[in-house]
């Protein structure tokens, strides 16, 4: 399973509403994300509006397409769009950040060498 990090930009004037909306995401959307293969999905929001997302999926492009096909996602994206500092649907404006380090992967790769350090 692959790990994905992505960035978005919430308009700083809308941070409180963004937080409030994400404190109570619609159950139908939660199920759509889960069923589309979004796993361990988290969002982090800085005070300046920088939104950092993390998700795991076997294929995030396919997972995004499956969610995009749902009516609930279309409604959610339309409502969220006005809170962002970008044009269009927020989930189409993600900037993906490549992974350069993962502790578990490195520990597994190091194998016995890590055990002998103890």
Separation in Å, CA 97 to CA 5, 30, 61, 76, 83: 5, 24, 14, 24, 22
Q: What is the mean pLDDT of residues 85-91?
A: 84
Supply the range of the domain harboring residue 24.
Answer: 2-117
The reported pLDDT for the residue numbered 87 is 82
pLDDT at 75: 96
Pairing of strands 95-97, 50-57: unpaired
Are 51 and 7 in contact by the 8 Å Cβ rule? The answer is yes
The more confident residue out of 88 and 6 is 6
Mean pLDDT value of segment 77-102: 91
CB neighbours (10 Å) of residue 84? 20
pLDDT at 112 over 70: no
- The C-alpha angle with vertex 18 and arms to 81 and 92, in degrees rounded to 5, equals 35
What confidence score (pLDDT) does residue 114 get?
A: 66
Mean pLDDT across the stretch 18-43? 98
Q: Report the catalytic residues.
A: 22
Q: How many domains, the chain?
A: 1
CATH number at residue 6: 3.30.70.100
The tokens describing 30, both together, are 């939660």
Helix axis angle for 71-81 and 60-68, nearest 10°, is 90
């Amino acid at each position: 399973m692959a790990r994905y990090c992505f960035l978005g930009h919430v308009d700083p004037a809308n941070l409180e509403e963004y937080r409030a909306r994400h404190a109570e995401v619609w159950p139908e959307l939660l199920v759509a994300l889960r069923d589309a293969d979004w796993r361990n999905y988290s969002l982090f929001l800085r005070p300046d509006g920088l939104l950092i997302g993390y998700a795991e999926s076997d294929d995030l492009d396919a997972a995004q397409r499956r969610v995009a096909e749902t009516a609930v996602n279309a409604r959610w994206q339309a409502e969220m769009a006005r809170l962002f500092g970008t044009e269009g649907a927020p989930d189409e404006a993600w900037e993906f950040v490549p992974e350069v380090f993962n502790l578990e992967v490195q520990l597994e790769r190091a194998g016995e060498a890590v055990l002998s350090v103890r």
